[in-house]
Amino acid sequence: MEFPCGKKLSNNASQRTPKVFILLALTLIILGIIPLHYTSKWYSATNLANHESEKSSTYHIEDMEIKIMDDETCDISTGEWIPNPDGPYYTNTTCWAIHEHQNCMKYGRPDTDFLKWRWKPKGCELPIFNPFQFLDIMRNKSLAFVGDSVGRNQMQSLICLLSRAVYPIDDSISPDENFKRWKYVDYNFTLATYWSPFLVKMKEADADGPTKTGLFNLYLDEADDKWLSQIEEFDYVIFNGGHWFTRCSVYYENNQLVGCRYCGLPNVTDLPSTYGYQKAIRTVLRTINNLENFKGITFVRTFAPSHFEGGEWNKGGNCVRRKPFISNETSLEGLNLELYTIQVEEFKAAEKEGKKKGKRFRLLDTTQAMLVETRWTSK
């Protein structure tokens, strides 16, 4: 694939293909990871009942506690999907956070077995997510997802999983659907999403662009003020990105034009999308490291394939897969591998720098679990 934005968008609807599989999968992983990193306390069912029984009449004893021990080490980024007959934990009728364009069931998807899988890390068990315990851990805290639609999808998944316990109220400070804020009132827990697919400052230079998919001016050394202006108030921030860097963009550094990706402008050097992406993620992490008042934990969520397979992002595709891949059936390669490598390298550099400044970073490595047939993703 030489020119991802060089062809006309043939099927706009493809960008709105149902995402329930990824939605579920991402959630199981991300939610397994968060409590493991966030606390070293032991939780018991009694504890949960004591905390919640007055407020939450919906607490059920079958929501078993997840025990988290200080010395537990297990790399949950590698493993296999295994069948889970107990799933799914929510459906299109129990959770309103599934958007219309993600509602496979409503539009006639006949099977449901694709919802019944769980992630089994190599060498340990990842417990089934306990929404009551999660909310208890997050009491008085706040969590923001910053990035593209895959990150937004994760936030929706989280709302759906937590819906077994309680729904949040809409606490958005702007009417813009790209910047939602939810409040779990009984827990004083805030969940927010920031739409910032490039993570850095961006100006849409041409909604049409050379290829009808937009042309974006990216200021690679300036973080996007949309999230930057509000991020200090959050305890946990999860960044993600990558997919949008294959679009036609013009790169600026220090306000000077340095090159572009597929812009077709005369005498402007064409640079790979990895150039833009590396600079962008570096800018984000450096900015966090220099944010005096930010005391939270920063997660870098590693690369995940897009919402569908069977076609590049602008060319249609499908979501007909009935079960996840076995690890030996797929591998990280091409652009996906390059993006992943950049994320891990930039994360390590930022973490090292952050140590000196008391900043905390975590790598949320969901890439292997999320892999689909790699030849179709953003390459």
Q: Which stretch binds ligand NAG (CB under 6 A): 100-108, 150-158, 208-216, 223-231?
A: 100-108
- Residue 103 is a binding residue for ligand NAG (CB under 6 A): yes
Q: Exactly one of 254, 255, 256, 328 binds ligand NAG (CB under 6 A); which one?
A: 328
Binding mask 243-282 for ligand NAG (x = CB under 6 A): -----------------------xx---------------
Contact 244, 15 (CB under 8 A): no
Query: Which CB sits closer to ligand NAG, 106 or 323?
Result: 106
- 293 is written with which tokens? 């008042």
- Per CB under 6 A, the segment of 8-16, 39-47, 99-107, 339-347 that binds ligand NAG is 99-107
105 in contact with ligand NAG (CB under 6 A): yes
What values do phi and psi take at 310, rounded to 5? 85, 15
Identify the H or E element spanning 227.
helix 225-228
Residues 106-135: x/- map of binding to ligand NAG (CB under 6 A)? Answer: x-----------------------------
Q: Which of 13, 61, 207, 326 binds ligand NAG (CB under 6 A)?
A: 326
Q: Which of 216, 221, 242 is closest to 343 using CA atoms?
A: 242
Rounded alpha-carbon distances, angstroms, from residue 366 to 37, 65, 121, 327: 14, 23, 11, 13
Neighbours of 279 (CB within 10 A): 21
DSSP state for residue 179 in the 8-state scheme? S
Distance CA 98, CA 20 (A): 8
DSSP per-residue codes, 111-150 = --GGG-EEEEETTS--PPP-HHHHHHHTTT-EEEEEESHH
Q: Note whether 73 binds ligand NAG by CB under 6 A.
A: no
Quick note: the x/- pattern for ligand NAG over 130-149, rule CB under 6 A, is: ---------xx---------
Residues 244, 276 contacting (CB under 8 angstroms) = no
Closer residue to ligand NAG (CB): 207 or 326 = 326
- CB of residue 298 vs ligand NAG: minimum separation in angstroms? 17
- For residue 313, the minimal CB distance to ligand NAG (Å) is 26
Given candidates 92, 149, 217, 330, which one binds ligand NAG under the rule CB under 6 A? 92
- The verdict on 85 binding ligand NAG (CB under 6 A) reads no
The answer to the question of residue 217 lying near ligand NAG (CB under 6 A) is no
Q: Closest Cα to residue 135, out of 193, 186, 71?
A: 186
> SS3 of 69, please?
coil
Q: 134 or 195, CB closer to ligand NAG?
A: 134
CB 228 within 8 A of CB 180: no
Which residue, 301, 252, 247, 302, is CA-closest to 279?
252
Nearest to ligand NAG of 140, 254 (CB atom)? 140
Q: Say whether residue 15 binds ligand NAG (CB under 6 A).
A: no
Specify the stretch interacting with ligand NAG by CB under 6 A; choose among 16-24, 38-46, 322-330, 349-357: 322-330
The smaller minimum CB distance to ligand NAG, of residues 88 and 242, is found at 88
Task: Please give the Cα distance from 266 to 363 (Å, whole number).
Answer: 40
CA nearest to 35, candidates 64, 60, 62, 67: 67
How many helices and strands, by DSSP H and E, does the chain display?
8, 13
Q: How far is residue 53 CA from its own chain's centroid?
A: 32
CB of 183 to ligand NAG, least distance (A): 10
Indicate which single residue of 2, 62, 170, 329 sits in contact with ligand NAG (rule: CB under 6 A). Answer: 329
**Per CB under 6 A, which of residues 40..69 are in contact with ligand NAG?**
none
Q: Which is closer to ligand NAG, CB of 235 or CB of 253?
A: 235
Considering beta carbons, is residue 73 or 267 the nearer one to ligand NAG?
Answer: 267
Q: Strand pairing of 189-195 and 215-223?
A: unpaired
Residues that bind ligand NAG (CB under 6 A): 92-93, 103, 105-106, 139-140, 188, 266-267, 326, 328-329
